[in-house]
Structure 1
């Protein structure tokens, strides 16, 4: 065969020492031998463990032999928590699946005969690269445990299901219990050093996350605090919408794994002005049947999620209405346009990093573009009287509960709230079909469901002296209020970095 120089008539052989023919680069081995009978191989999406000794024994998470098993096992890279070499022994920590709704911290430990520590450490680094990808390793996590939330089991859930996953992942953990309502606001606003932590993890329902966001918003460097520290929720309460949206689960252990592997994700925040008060919302605002079904059935918590259905049916039968004047700054008004916006975002590849510039320490909350509820109505807003309003529901996330994907087109940072309006005079049969459609993921398509994407609104209840308004599931005074979106002001962790773990408006299966 002719040499490269001879084969190329335009190449001067005298210069071949400057441009030597390319040599084949040998790929580093993807397999690490562990003695004569065992090995670890980096597969396409999993770590393949081969151990002929497993024909006779199975090792549980404590390294104790128990029963017969196959010679190979496959551990998804997503479940790999950590790996390290200490004194010629490799230890690989991982999250072992226990059924569909639980994982537990487990490990493999093997003595290595290979003395090439450079190769071994490089192999471990490649394993961790595949396990974590763009996610930060060894996150510094401030854990807030609400011992009063849900059924009072948050502390037990944390120690049993969450702490072992964090520990096995070599995260730095600082745990503090909240002592009373509003305590998380004080912690986030006053004592939390935002330079010392990457994540604030709320072992609670959605309420503590709401407090943390509002505590960070009270800092002098609020913009910096909200951008630097990611707020996450570990489902230990009665309302776990934040975890469902970002982690795809209401399981404490699976959520802990999702947080360990989570990608920094910008989150739109919503300023709510009511009277002279400004608060931040991250989840939803509701007036009408949804707010009343939630807040007016607190005394029925013993019924579990059935209390919401009960409250809905009682008000549906009574054809309860909630008259209000509503002014809206629309961004996308048709379902076709909304689907196009969602599809465009869903088609993007997951981001490899958070490219937002970190605000300087002297920047607080952004100024209100549209003023407050006390100011004249901004120009360009459409004011409409809703005398037969049944439901006004604005969402910043998709899931409001495990079986309620109310806002399938919601995106973490599109600069919009998704707004649903439904008349209160629909037929009772239509109302029941609407409730069922939420569970069946067909709610978005119903013709009587007015669904839009908006950037701001003002709502003024009328002809009703008392009622319920819910902000992130918390009751606020029954008074007019105004809402305005701040795109990407907050930070959370999610599995994809730009989408919620919910079925989108065009996905049917």
Structure 2
């Protein structure tokens, strides 16, 4: 559904509301003196004859909500409707109002109910809410975690100004806590009552969702917790990849609206085994220039997302390579097959995760199908040994940060991750053109780019004393590791219910 809300009267609005052929009369009510409300195809249609005196229309701000006593004719997309309430005498409609580009604020329309309409108001309100929410859960119970140190340190203010009023207007139940130290969200995730909430909302960058997931993974009933409790975020960090993938925007208010209307979506997660540890990844793993450009510029977080570009260019000039041995369980390695798989997945009906999580009651993390990094490499895995790799990048999601649509064929729940290996000796200009192609959506089709869909892989660094390996933007020890995907182990709230908000490969 569109999130554009227009305050301009449609040229056909007045005619439409009086055309009985276009509307079931049960979906049209008259309120106040001269206002008609109708449920259109994708919007609430409001037709009002407003007195010429501008004083008739009054806007009053109360508790962060804009209340309009009467309004001119307008259309409000159902997607923007937050809550509807009716008493014996009044009707209240709360909705997300567009203030500036991608900046929304809750607003309220209030009308006096006419006696003759009282009998059908209740069914009209319920029908409007059905159209507004569809398959989305209403009045979500949200555990909100704020990282006050993430990104540029504005998370607390961003939440209070742009998200809290939206959640309140939509009738969400909020339990808020501010994290105090690194790893705090792991403890919170491990000890959370998964029956008390529908979703955890991380006001942060991608580090806090990573911690929450790995906290849930420590529960005895980890699989149940991960499928029952949706993990999402408000973009308050540097990269904000989770928000870009699920909602396609970096606007806190628009993401808040998308969370309110979010559909419970099965999400693939990956196990990372390294030594005696096992952690979960929701986003990506990288080794080489991208890992160094991210983790090696941590001291430049004040630059925001630009620190990554700076780090990449510095390392590109040096033409550094990263020797390693790689093995992977290939599921698809032909771009034509990957494109066909993406289209088939895109066109099928979403299978939403039910409230309650499904059939994972009491289960811990799933066993590792391929063993750990300390076991023998499975005989059916492909093996590569190279001294010239510039980058190995594997992703569960399509978008890594704003405008970086690195894995366009990535899907939330197909049980595979996309893996790209790039030779570090291809030359500076070619490397630059490849990174430019990412922003233009042309990366997938570059001949030099080999894309594999894999269900597992192993990486062993060689001839290096130390370096960077990144998992979801977090640094892990510089030693061999193995990755295995778990189809639908996690749960997210997304706009579509089964796709990322990214340009596909087709």
| Counterpart contact for 2:389–2:424, Cα < 8 Å | yes
| Map 1:242-253 → 2, pairs under 5 A | 242-253=242-253
Q: Which deviates further from its counterpart, 45-54 or 138-147? A: 45-54
| Map 1:136-155 → 2, pairs under 5 A | 136-155=137-156
Question: Equivalent residue for 2:458?
Answer: 458
Give the secondary-structure state (helix, strand or coil) at the position aligned to 2:439.
helix
Q: Is 2:162 the partner of 1:161? A: yes
| Counterpart contact for 1:54–1:70, Cα < 8 Å | no
In angstroms, what is the RMSD of aligned CA positions?
Answer: 1.9
Question: Equivalent residue for 1:32?
Answer: 29
1-side partners of 2:369 and 2:281: how far apart?
A: 16
Question: Equivalent residue for 2:268?
Answer: 268
The structure-2 alpha-carbon separation of the partners of 1:53 and 1:401, relative to structure 1 and needing over 3 Å to count, comes to: same
Q: CA deviation at 1:379?
A: 1.9
1-side partners of 2:239 and 2:438: how far apart?
A: 17
The structure-2 alpha-carbon separation of the partners of 1:194 and 1:55, relative to structure 1 and needing over 3 Å to count, comes to: farther
Question: Equivalent residue for 2:209?
Answer: 209
Give the secondary-structure state (helix, strand or coil) at the position aligned to 1:498.
coil
Q: CA deviation at 1:303?
A: 2.8
**For residues 190-221 of structure 1, what are the alpha-carbon distances to aligned partners after superposition, in whole Å with 9 as ceiling and x for unaligned?**
2x110111111101111000001101111111
| Counterpart contact for 2:83–2:95, Cα < 8 Å | yes
2-side partners of 1:28 and 1:136: how far apart?
A: 28
2-side partners of 1:247 and 1:119: how far apart?
A: 36
| Counterpart contact for 1:203–1:233, Cα < 8 Å | yes
| Counterpart contact for 1:55–1:71, Cα < 8 Å | no
2-side partners of 1:433 and 1:445: how far apart?
A: 13
**For residues 68-95 of structure 1, what are the alpha-carbon distances to aligned partners after superposition, in whole Å with 9 as ceiling and x for unaligned?**
x994111110000000012310000000
| Counterpart contact for 2:227–2:360, Cα < 8 Å | no
Unaligned runs of 5+ in 2: 1-22
1-side partners of 2:401 and 2:459: how far apart?
A: 24
2-side partners of 1:65 and 1:358: how far apart?
A: 43
**For residues 96-141 of structure 1, what are the alpha-carbon distances to aligned partners after superposition, in whole Å with 9 as ceiling and x for unaligned?**
0122221001110011113553410100000000000000101111
| Map 1:337-416 → 2, pairs under 5 A | 337-351=337-351, 354=354, 358-416=358-416
Q: CA deviation at 1:28?
A: 4.7
Q: CA deviation at 1:65?
A: 7.3
Question: Equivalent residue for 2:428?
Answer: 428
Question: Equivalent residue for 1:110?
Answer: 111
| Counterpart contact for 1:329–1:456, Cα < 8 Å | yes
| Counterpart contact for 1:398–1:410, Cα < 8 Å | yes
2-side partners of 1:104 and 1:70: how far apart?
A: 17
Q: Is 2:54 the partner of 1:53? A: no
* TM-score, normalised relative to structure 1: 0.91
Unaligned runs of 5+ in 1: 1-25
The structure-2 alpha-carbon separation of the partners of 1:55 and 1:217, relative to structure 1 and needing over 3 Å to count, comes to: farther
The structure-2 alpha-carbon separation of the partners of 1:64 and 1:255, relative to structure 1 and needing over 3 Å to count, comes to: closer
Give the secondary-structure state (helix, strand or coil) at the position aligned to 2:50.
helix
| Map 1:166-315 → 2, pairs under 5 A | 166-190=167-191, 192-315=192-315
1-side partners of 2:484 and 2:210: how far apart?
A: 17
| Counterpart contact for 2:84–2:93, Cα < 8 Å | yes
1-side partners of 2:460 and 2:190: how far apart?
A: 31
Q: CA deviation at 1:290?
A: 0.4
The structure-2 alpha-carbon separation of the partners of 1:78 and 1:84, relative to structure 1 and needing over 3 Å to count, comes to: same
Q: CA deviation at 1:153?
A: 1.2
The structure-2 alpha-carbon separation of the partners of 1:245 and 1:65, relative to structure 1 and needing over 3 Å to count, comes to: closer
2-side partners of 1:176 and 1:314: how far apart?
A: 39
**For residues 176-198 of structure 1, what are the alpha-carbon distances to aligned partners after superposition, in whole Å with 9 as ceiling and x for unaligned?**
111111111101102x1101111
**For residues 149-183 of structure 1, what are the alpha-carbon distances to aligned partners after superposition, in whole Å with 9 as ceiling and x for unaligned?**
11211111111110111000011111111111111
Q: CA deviation at 1:431?
A: 0.8
| Counterpart contact for 1:83–1:93, Cα < 8 Å | yes
Q: CA deviation at 1:313?
A: 1.6
2-side partners of 1:495 and 1:80: how far apart?
A: 15
Structure number with greater Rg is: 1
The structure-2 alpha-carbon separation of the partners of 1:208 and 1:64, relative to structure 1 and needing over 3 Å to count, comes to: closer
**For residues 396-454 of structure 1, what are the alpha-carbon distances to aligned partners after superposition, in whole Å with 9 as ceiling and x for unaligned?**
01110011000000000000011111000002110110111111111111111111110
Question: Equivalent residue for 1:134?
Answer: 135
Give the secondary-structure state (helix, strand or coil) at the position aligned to 1:344.
helix
| Counterpart contact for 1:150–1:238, Cα < 8 Å | yes
Give the secondary-structure state (helix, strand or coil) at the position aligned to 2:245.
helix
Question: Equivalent residue for 1:6?
Answer: none
Q: CA deviation at 1:56?
A: 4.0
The structure-2 alpha-carbon separation of the partners of 1:28 and 1:64, relative to structure 1 and needing over 3 Å to count, comes to: closer
Question: Equivalent residue for 1:124?
Answer: 125
